[in-house]
Amino acid sequence: MTADSDFSIKNPSKLPNSDREKRMWEKIRAGQAIEAPDEMSDDYFDNLANLMLQQADSELAGAFGYVPWIMRAPSTEEKLAVANIVKDEVRHARAMYRLLEELGIDSDSHVAKHDYNFRVDLRGDDLKNKRAADDRRVNIFYYPIDTWADFVMFQFCMDRGAGHQLEDVRKSSYGPWKREIERIFKEEMMHVNHGDYWVKKMALDRSTKEEAQTALNKWYPRTMNIFGRPKTRKNQVYKGYGLKQRDNEEVRASFRDEVRLKCSEWGLRLPDWKPEWEKIEEDGVISG
């Protein structure tokens, strides 16, 4: 199995796969955590490594996207706040890469092969569900953050969306990931609160409300795309192994309902969003 085009991942355990699979199901059915590769089937290992690598790369790419806003933040207080947010995101990335190293994966070699500063040229259409490069970040992290409104709305939308996804990881069958997420989750909620403070402030100020609405129109649809298609075979596999708890659509609905409530309170209009897989092209083929 390859988690991306140039990075092979293989369970380092010397035990036969059948023995590991037996141990794994015994623990999962007993509600116990999986703690080491010797307790995982090859398929569980592959799916776990894929999910953790997606999170690690997203954390690192997110940190790099925030760095310019240390300099461009509107006050010295906010420069410090952004610097601390960047520090948090790099720590999250390092924590995830360390977990991958415990699975026998050379994280530094992986990171060295990719450009986490890379952002897309937005003269074309949005990526939607398409990938822009061969690292494993969620595709929303390929977009540039051009304004302060973009920065705080990214936190309001994307950090909130990530928080809803991490809720499932807090119940993960893989113990080391589950424990690390408790630390990451608390810091991510602080980032969401920072975004909420600024979006509310901008939305309730007549001079900046339109700017906040424009940023919401940009980042809300992009965040809605991060959750993926409903009822996918892959997500059923994740749920079966206890690596996820809910269907993608359930997580998206929780995010949407929370954002809708806050927008209603602050006088912002929730943008329309229709998934690519529900759009019918002229030839009758479902896109996406």
**45-59 residue pLDDT tens:** 999 999 999 999 999
pLDDT at 125: 61
Residue with tokens 């092979």: 8
**Residue 1 — very low, low, confident or very high, per pLDDT cuts 50/70/90?**
very low
What single letter denotes the amino acid at residue 23?
R
For 41-120+139-272, the fitting CATH number among 1.20.1260.10, 3.40.50.11540, 1.10.1040.10, 1.20.20.10 is: 1.20.1260.10
Angle formed at CA 243 by CA 242 and CA 249, multiple of 5 degrees: 100
pLDDT at 13: 86
For the stretch 213-269, pLDDT in tens is: 999 999 999 999 999 999 999 999 999 999 999 999 999 999 999 999 999 999 999
**Residue 10 — very low, low, confident or very high, per pLDDT cuts 50/70/90?**
confident
The answer to whether residue 8 scores a pLDDT higher than 70 is no
pLDDT at 6: 43
**Residue 121 — very low, low, confident or very high, per pLDDT cuts 50/70/90?**
confident
Answer yes or no: are the C-beta atoms of 124 and 216 closer than 8 Å: no
